[in-house]
Structure 1
Amino acid sequence: MSNENSIMTGIRELPQHLNLKTISSGLLAGIFGITGPAVIIIGGASEAGLTQAQTISWIFSVYFFGALIGLFLSLKYRQPIIGAWSIPGAVLVAAALQNYSLAEAVGAYFIAGVIVFVLGISGVIGKIMYWLPAPIIMAMIAGAMIRFGTGMITSLQSATLVAGSAILAYLVSSRLTKKFPPILSALLVSVTIAAFMGLFQMGDMAPTFVGPQFFTPAFSVGAILSIAIPLAILVIGAENAQASGVLMSQGYKPPINSMTIWSGVGGMATAFFGGHNANIAGPMTAICASEESGKKLSGRYASVIVNFIVFGGFGLLAGIAVPFVIAMPGALVGTVAGLAMIGVLLSSLQAAFSKSRFQIGAFFSLIIAMSGISFFGISSPFWAIIGGVIVSLIIEGKDFEQSRTGGETTTKATA
């Protein structure tokens, strides 16, 4: 891969990388990001008493600005870096809106963006990620993503025909041809069967165009402590850490500081439209970074451009698109997403446990991430890294010493 970081170079090389594989991965990532997650925002907004216009503005901001972040970073670095928003962050915010006004929440969103931006500018996050042991990071990725693999299997129980047809189509397509993406075969077959069975159900939300609203922030100490700080930690410790780890596991050197900086910018921009953040997406980056996007690492970024069209378009037309998107069966999306994660899970597990160092720390990182625990509103990927490092420091101190003296290296990233 070229070391030249130029948006114009990314645009110039894009046509040669747009093919069935990158298009199908980008489409799948977009569908994944706008089905179940959108419902979380809608449900949280409803519980908080937000109007339909305020809810649509929230959706617009996180999807549109998230798509812009992914477009910029993927073209500049020619890596499959997708921008979206934090699902745990939306849950955190929905609960906090019970106690704070929307204006106070908007102020807290903005402060969270400032915190992330400052940490990115300082270079602190890049330095921390560089020195974290790779097996612990990779084990966290495997633990955080394993739910997509198990979800693919549990979907067989809740929607046997739809899930089973997707898995079978993927396996048969993988065996018969290398030219047509297996993941696209799985998606087309399962969508056709779900439609034939009448499983697409429209919700109560009527399609109507609603433009974004502008919100004036108000600042309160309580909202900053309850929303801003936990949200900033989630963006850095869960979303960006997952995405960085996924990219490393696939052989990339992610621009961690730049990813952090633009996640901060995204958080500040979305705040004024009622959105809680726009940052780098973990699971969606995993879909586009996998081998399903093609063998060439240098070309997988093209899938992000496809995702930008789907994701950004959904944000702009949220009022019209939301009712149709939430009609998609969850089992369908979950099964196809699980199939797309196979390569990421395999490479992460191999990187975590194929060497002799940091094995106990990696094991604890894996099981903590798999547990799905949450403390202080912060989700398991963050605690998986913390727990894994603490365990290794206690009983695998020699591995840190050997890494410092030129042995096995830790994670690799660019600034």
Structure 2
Amino acid sequence: MGQPDRYFSEQHDEVHKNKGFLRDITSQNVSSGFISSTLVMTGPALIILQAAAAGHFSDQQTINWMFAVYFFGGLFGIIMPLLYRIPITGAHSISGVAFLATVTAHFTYPQLIGGYVMSGLIIFLIGISGLFTKIIKWVPKEVIAAMLGGLVTNYVVQIVPDVKAMPIVGGAALLSFFISTKISNRIPAVMVAVVVGFISLFLTQDLHSASKGIAFFLPSVQTPEFTWMGLITLGLPLAMLILSNDVAPGIGALESSDFEPPIRKIVSFSGVFSIVASFFGGQSANIAGMMTAICSSSDAGVKSKRYMAAVVSGVLTLFFGVFAWKIVPFIQSLPEAFVSMLAGFALMGVLISSLQQGFSENKYRLSALFAFLIALSHVSFFHISAPVWGLVVGAIIAKTVES
């Protein structure tokens, strides 16, 4: 009788698990999910608009981009945690957007789409092959981190002239950022700065939010153009940034919280969702490092129920993408200095963590420094962008001079 009893017990547990995920919603995981989604819906959205402006995107192309990364990133963040009952949180790559802001002007729109598709395919192949850890080890993490630091430095530095241009709004946002950093680790200081910045802007400036209206339209499938240059200067570095700055930290956050993440499946599905998002104009839809860290931490409540924080985050992120056609015109109506300042706040944490990871050890300081400086320069040679040269030169110095 032991075997049948165990079988029916397992079946009962499975039915209960499938029916009872709504019972796992708690105030703690809802709060963590809300904070997680707010992070990706504020600063990163502004950086997307900056990158779209740099590439001279049309309104429909911009809204397609916003829809793709938030809808499919949110869908990833709903399906994965429900499948595996661990807080695998989905979004898109903020470091990928920061990278694209420097290269969108160098490609046609179809070439960008082709680069996104190739990036997603690379991630998928790396996932199913188990090569993830080997590729990450080939380029020292210090070099990758320093290159990312060089990419985002100009965005963060822009906070200074933006605060000078809007002293009341900028000063209030900056002050609230420091106060929040001092008194609370629970609520991200970036989110507080964004909220205070918006409140200050509405109170002190006469915003003519009769921003140009954009009619609703169904997101459309985009036609990619595949080129070798797109593979080398767009697909490969974008895939490496997503793997090293989103996938690796996300998996690391789960492991540090004593979860057992299905690594190959997480990487593979990040590739699949990124490929789908790319055909709608988005660069990626994948596991999000910082958001997964929030949803998997003890602040999200009982460990067995933390996966619901990722689900809540995914639902909010998905709806943000659905209403991109309404949100984009509003954000476009904001003062340019204000948008730039909030983007700087959103990337401040990325810059700090990149510099810490890039220069905390003595072994690769020279290679990390050159990767940082080359990426910071935004100089391209032979139509190959500065971030790629930063990775190449940094890896060569690391493997020869500092090995």
Tell me the TM-score normalized by structure 1: 0.70
Q: Structure 2 residue aligned with 1:224, among 227, 238, 253?
A: 227
Q: After superposition, give the CA deviation of every residue in 1:32-88 in whole Å (9 maximum; x if it has no partner).
A: 222341354367465xxx6x6566445433332233234445665535553258435
Q: Quick one: distance in 1 between partners of 2:151 and 2:106?
A: 23
The within-5 A match list for 1:58-207 is 58-72=65-79, 76=84, 78=87, 82-84=91-93, 86-87=96-97, 88-89=99-100, 96-97=107-108, 110=117, 113-176=120-183, 182-198=189-205, 200=207, 202=209, 205-207=212-214
Q: 1:181 to 1:55 in 2, by over 3 A?
A: closer
1:366 aligned counterpart, secondary structure: helix
Amino acid at match of 1:83: H
Q: After superposition, give the CA deviation of every residue in 1:121-146 in whole Å (9 maximum; x if it has no partner).
A: 22334311145434334434443443
2:216 aligned counterpart, secondary structure: coil
The within-5 A match list for 1:317-332 is 317-332=323-338
Structure 1: give runs of 5+ residues left out of the alignment: 1-6, 398-415
Residue aligning to 2:216: 209
Per-residue deviation at 1:27? 0.8
- Are the aligned partners of 2:211 and 2:332 in contact in 1 as well (CA < 8 Å)? no
Residue aligning to 1:358: 364
Q: 1:376 to 1:67 in 2, by over 3 A?
A: farther
Amino acid at match of 2:35: S
The within-5 A match list for 1:306-345 is 308-336=314-342, 338-339=344-345, 345=351
1:277 aligned counterpart, secondary structure: coil
- Are the aligned partners of 1:35 and 1:325 in contact in 2 as well (CA < 8 Å)? yes
Per-residue deviation at 1:391? 1.0
Q: 1:202 to 1:13 in 2, by over 3 A?
A: same
Per-residue deviation at 1:195? 0.8
- Are the aligned partners of 1:109 and 1:228 in contact in 2 as well (CA < 8 Å)? no
- Are the aligned partners of 1:372 and 1:379 in contact in 2 as well (CA < 8 Å)? yes
Q: After superposition, give the CA deviation of every residue in 1:150-207 in whole Å (9 maximum; x if it has no partner).
A: 2333322222221211111122344455666544432332111101123645476314
Q: 1:365 to 1:12 in 2, by over 3 A?
A: farther
Alignment RMSD = 4.4
Q: How many residue pairs are counted as aligned between the two chains? A: 375
Q: Quick one: distance in 1 between partners of 2:161 and 2:308?
A: 32
Q: Quick one: distance in 1 between partners of 2:103 and 2:148?
A: 22
Q: Structure 1 residue aligned with 2:38, among 13, 27, 37?
A: 27
Residue aligning to 2:242: 239
- Are the aligned partners of 2:277 and 2:285 in contact in 1 as well (CA < 8 Å)? no
Structure 2: give runs of 5+ residues left out of the alignment: 1-16
Residue aligning to 1:389: 395
Q: Quick one: distance in 2 between partners of 1:134 and 1:60?
A: 31
Per-residue deviation at 1:261? 2.7
Per-residue deviation at 1:395? 1.8
Q: Structure 2 residue aligned with 1:18, among 29, 36, 48?
A: 29
Q: Quick one: distance in 2 between partners of 1:368 and 1:334?
A: 23
1:262 aligns with 2:265: no
Amino acid at match of 1:135: E
- Are the aligned partners of 1:82 and 1:304 in contact in 2 as well (CA < 8 Å)? no
Tell me the TM-score normalized by structure 2: 0.71
Q: 1:213 to 1:250 in 2, by over 3 A?
A: closer
- Are the aligned partners of 2:44 and 2:343 in contact in 1 as well (CA < 8 Å)? no
Q: 1:238 to 1:106 in 2, by over 3 A?
A: closer
Per-residue deviation at 1:271? 4.7
Amino acid at match of 2:235: A
Amino acid at match of 2:40: A
Amino acid at match of 1:170: F
Q: Quick one: distance in 2 between partners of 1:54 and 1:107?
A: 15
